[in-house]
Structure 1
């Protein structure tokens, strides 16, 4: 019943993703503390959302084999085929039956939600580079508003207005409109609000509107991932009223909501931020924030040591803060510096465990870096869009505003034992060693974008993905496991599904362009591109409908592991390991508020590819570790795009 939803995502982790629904920035602000006053309650559709379907086992096996085909030679493929057959007819059938039975008993959620939280929270790798992505805001269109203090104040107030609007149930529900002229109207909203929540989704469906899951939104604020031995915990305290601010590795807190829960005056927030910016304290000898970049078990042990050292109340202030605002003391030099700053910084000035860090550089450049365990990007991008719109269109303070008084700000002073100091020194060493191996580079292709490709009846996303396949083939001579994440937020507690862009069609097309372009006419190359586009659209549609294979196989494996069962042969097949070793981890999102985004590779010999196909150009932001060359890869992407545009214009391909 759910239509094709192109809900793209930022992928993170071994098989995770930041599913983002691209929606227009919402209607204008409401008066007072609210961004808007939706007449339809925020969570009106939540109870009646359809449930995430479990694919048929035979469909999952077919899709899995189709994705393996371009990655394996004939003899390996035949072995994998045998593993699939015996799995489908044997233990897989039993595991699938158990999964379906368990799903029927848990109608309040989705079959993937529990295992997915487990996957994130049991991961012991540092969350920096391995999980946390970043998204950069465009500058404020009015240049004088990009002053650091002005922008930090306005964005903080807009973030608090979002919080107030969300908690009051006045935030517009997140809805994917296929026919906005019919469904995104006051008339429809006035009608649908009277339909009971248990039926409201069906009312929206009748006018081709598809509400999205909003169950993750409450974790945006007052939330932190707490390090614990073996499995972390998500902590939320909605009663807390203070903001956490980091500057030069020092931690400060002050109340941004009063005792009645009202936002304190913008001039008071500005005055407190001004006092923090005026504090001449140096970077501490042992900046505590480094610990949030550690291995999770190491951090969990050091946190216990901190608690034992009479720091529990201070840690509670960090964990329960509304969010973390990071004020950096330097301007941004260029796009590469921007990516490094917002992805990891120097380790002293981020609390990576917070649900998100709002970062504002010296020149007013702003971004969000967020922790991934609590949810995917639907909530983050919605927050991001609303904060950009509100802070630029209805700013709380003008640049000429001068704070009159300096109310008290509490600086947090932790008591650090020798063990904690040694732990911080070790974390710093590891952090610096790791980030120094990361390369980030970017390119912009200005020959055309979405407009031109749609006229050619091609999916812009399929063309971008095809360019990555061609580029890797040109650079390394092979086709490898590729990941593109897709949101399943059209379903209750949906998370993400994987689109597998490497296919027999992209392999054939890439080989034609890279290895033998002169043997094919422009018409033949165009035909191959059209085949790739058609198949990519099918894969994307299936993924958005919960009909991929990755999450199903993941859930079946989770059931087997939970029972202490010997893993079925299918999962021990090297081909299964290889397809989940995602050398090309790719993600796209577009929004009027987004300037740039990115993430680190998910494997040491991979690329992290953030990209966007705009109306008239294509942008790409790529990260790599030393075993891969990001600059060269981008040159190959550019060559691939040039070749495809030549073919589409009927020109011959230059070798």
Structure 2
């Protein structure tokens, strides 16, 4: 062990025997920031990717099982005649084309043991979609405010978010970030014994060692694209750009772009005061908002943006775009004061007016004038599991170990800064396109309806006492609210992670079931008089059915991804499209009127996304110990988020009332 003493520009290390070793330090690390404890958010004994080599592969379900699960999902949505037709299509598929497509899928999967069968087609699906990224794809999360409000000052909050993010990055790069593990019994596996044992097991066997502790390591292949990554628009299909050597941060304010290095030549994080001084200089830059905010172009349809980007490159902006694309991440400094307007908070982090955003970045940290902090992230490179892990670790770090403090703001005048302002060359054509896109995007967001509900009457704790799944309760409420409004059930999507498998992405849970249909009808149709005990029994049956679907999805035994992959193989062949995919019921099921997803965590204040179809609802929800939270989006003139939220509150009350009978 060595004792570290800081002395001006020198690091003096004193060994136990009294030998003094000195090393010249770069100016950026002289203050305090040259110790591992300062450079890394975690220093795990178990390497970050220790379990990656031995993760089980995502299973390909049996064709018969997939067909039966698909039929079950259609039953609550189709009338007798439609169901008979769909059942016939399924039978023909199972007896004919399905067998050859399944054989192709199995063979291709066997030839690519390094990945999962869904990875390539899922990336391809995302990158080929031409719809704009904001609202359609990019979700958002907002941090719970700090307990000491002085740490929510914009400069202080932004600095600490940057520093903690870099600490996370360095731990990830150096393979010492704690591996992501799902602990079935944390008291047995989330322990030093677990870490000491599993780190000694060779990586190709390590997963099995974790399994003996009832712990399940999760895939971490997506994490590398958290940083230094941007989705580049190209005609027909976008691409993911990743430049791990870049050391600079991208900062946006008032539609202007700035960069400065946050890592030095040795990849050491620069001191918090240096980072804060640069951010402070940007905040004090009193130039007016950018007349030509290029960031709004990232709200465009992807082919249109690809063409405009090519023109920007032709007019001398290639190096600027390269700086933006390679930046570690984007820090957005907004001049907006949100106050206590929760819906304004949602709009700020979901879409805003696009002039101070770059939606193509893997993620952007956004800090408002009054100190709200959150993230908007591009979805093609990865899923919520990776983002939530980063989000939670950074929140814990800025709350428990903030590296920059409010009383240090006045000392920043002594710090030097080295900021580069990126000045785009804008010709008449680019100016016209920017102005058109600003107006187009404004018209789009004006049609978006946003609302929310925070239901304080019960949460996860009460649900568990009543032996009902909290997630099943939420999903039932979503169905009941829509059934109350429209007297019918609709195709519903619930996202479920398959990160327990190598290169797993997501699977779909179909929470609209026959059990759901029965309880919705029983509660809303007053002519059917059932006792509360009978209704409670029906809710419990609904919960049990939902639990089965959830377990199947988590285990890679859903049907959506399997059919999606088989359909891709069918499209590549010259043969006639199988009847199952010609059936209108297939397209209808995948036209998700209710699209739902949760990233529940005590550190998440709000989270959500836009509708995935023009006449649908986007529903982001949180399940906490004592309350339930939901963010709902829709488009005006088709469906109404505010009306849905009001009905959802009654649905919660109805379910709560029945469960307590």
Give the TM-score range, shorter chain: over 0.9
Shift of 1:446: 1.8
1:285 aligns with 2:291: yes
- Aligned position for 2:149: 143
TM superposition score normalised by structure 1? 0.94
Query: 1:111-142 CA distances to partner (integer Å, 9 max, x unpaired)?
Result: 00000000000000101111000000011111
1:349 aligns with 2:356: yes
Is the 2:388–2:599 contact (alpha carbons within 8 Å) kept by the matching residues of 1?
Answer: no
Residue 376 of structure 1: which of 379, 383, 402 is its match? 383
3-state DSSP of counterpart to 2:46: coil
Is the 2:454–2:627 contact (alpha carbons within 8 Å) kept by the matching residues of 1?
Answer: yes
Q: Unaligned 5+ residue runs, structure 1?
A: 1-28, 651-655
The aligned length equals: 622
Is the 1:38–1:171 contact (alpha carbons within 8 Å) kept by the matching residues of 2?
Answer: yes
Is the 2:250–2:257 contact (alpha carbons within 8 Å) kept by the matching residues of 1?
Answer: yes
Shift of 1:30: 6.6
Is the 1:176–1:209 contact (alpha carbons within 8 Å) kept by the matching residues of 2?
Answer: yes
1:504 aligns with 2:514: yes
Larger of the two Rg values belongs to structure: 2
Residue 251 of structure 1: which of 245, 252, 257 is its match? 257
In 1, the alpha carbon distance for the partners of 2:73 and 2:526 equals 24
Shift of 1:564: 4.7
In 2, the alpha carbon distance for the partners of 1:463 and 1:342 equals 27
Residue 32 of structure 1: which of 21, 35, 38 is its match? 38
1:521 aligns with 2:512: no
Is the 1:248–1:328 contact (alpha carbons within 8 Å) kept by the matching residues of 2?
Answer: yes
Residue 462 of structure 2: which of 452, 460, 464 is its match? 452
- Aligned position for 1:152: 158
- Aligned position for 2:227: 221
- Aligned position for 1:3: none
- Aligned position for 1:642: 653
Residue 361 of structure 1: which of 360, 368, 382 is its match? 368
- Aligned position for 1:208: 214
In 2, the alpha carbon distance for the partners of 1:300 and 1:508 equals 49
Shift of 1:517: 7.0
- Aligned position for 2:4: none
- Aligned position for 1:98: 104
Query: 1:50-75 CA distances to partner (integer Å, 9 max, x unpaired)?
Result: 00000001101100010000000000
Shift of 1:406: 4.1
1:597 aligns with 2:607: yes
In 2, the alpha carbon distance for the partners of 1:286 and 1:569 equals 51
3-state DSSP of counterpart to 2:597: strand
Is the 2:384–2:599 contact (alpha carbons within 8 Å) kept by the matching residues of 1?
Answer: no
- Aligned position for 1:483: 493
Query: 1:404-454 CA distances to partner (integer Å, 9 max, x unpaired)?
Result: 234121100111222222221221122111111001101122221212221
Equivalent residues in 2 for 1:443-592 (5 A)?
A: 443-516=453-526, 519-592=529-602
In 2, the alpha carbon distance for the partners of 1:227 and 1:613 equals 36
Is the 2:250–2:258 contact (alpha carbons within 8 Å) kept by the matching residues of 1?
Answer: yes
Higher relative contact order (CA closer than 8 Å, sequence separation 6+): 1
1:401 aligns with 2:411: no
Equivalent residues in 2 for 1:5-404 (5 A)?
A: 31-333=37-339, 334-402=341-409, 403=412, 404=414
Is the 1:275–1:406 contact (alpha carbons within 8 Å) kept by the matching residues of 2?
Answer: no
Residue 619 of structure 2: which of 601, 609, 625 is its match? 609
In 2, the alpha carbon distance for the partners of 1:643 and 1:38 equals 47
3-state DSSP of counterpart to 2:620: strand
3-state DSSP of counterpart to 2:258: strand
In 2, the alpha carbon distance for the partners of 1:262 and 1:130 equals 37
3-state DSSP of counterpart to 2:495: strand
Shift of 1:477: 1.2
Query: 1:374-398 CA distances to partner (integer Å, 9 max, x unpaired)?
Result: 0111111111001111111111111
In 2, the alpha carbon distance for the partners of 1:565 and 1:496 equals 29
Is the 1:30–1:36 contact (alpha carbons within 8 Å) kept by the matching residues of 2?
Answer: no
In 2, the alpha carbon distance for the partners of 1:32 and 1:613 equals 34
Is the 1:216–1:379 contact (alpha carbons within 8 Å) kept by the matching residues of 2?
Answer: yes
Is the 1:246–1:327 contact (alpha carbons within 8 Å) kept by the matching residues of 2?
Answer: yes
Farther off after superposition, 321-330 or 558-567:
558-567
3-state DSSP of counterpart to 1:621: strand
3-state DSSP of counterpart to 1:492: coil
1:631 aligns with 2:642: yes
Query: 1:312-331 CA distances to partner (integer Å, 9 max, x unpaired)?
Result: 11110000000000000021
Is the 1:103–1:111 contact (alpha carbons within 8 Å) kept by the matching residues of 2?
Answer: yes
**Structure 1 ranges of 4+ moved more than 2 A:** 562-567
Query: 1:548-596 CA distances to partner (integer Å, 9 max, x unpaired)?
Result: 0000000001112233544222112111111001001111221121111
Shift of 1:32: 2.1
- CA-atom RMSD, angstroms? 1.1
Judged with a 3 Å threshold, the aligned counterparts in structure 2 of structure 1 residues 197 and 130 are, in CA distance, closer, same or farther, namely same
Farther off after superposition, 302-311 or 45-54:
302-311
3-state DSSP of counterpart to 1:325: strand
Shift of 1:613: 2.2
- Aligned position for 2:19: none
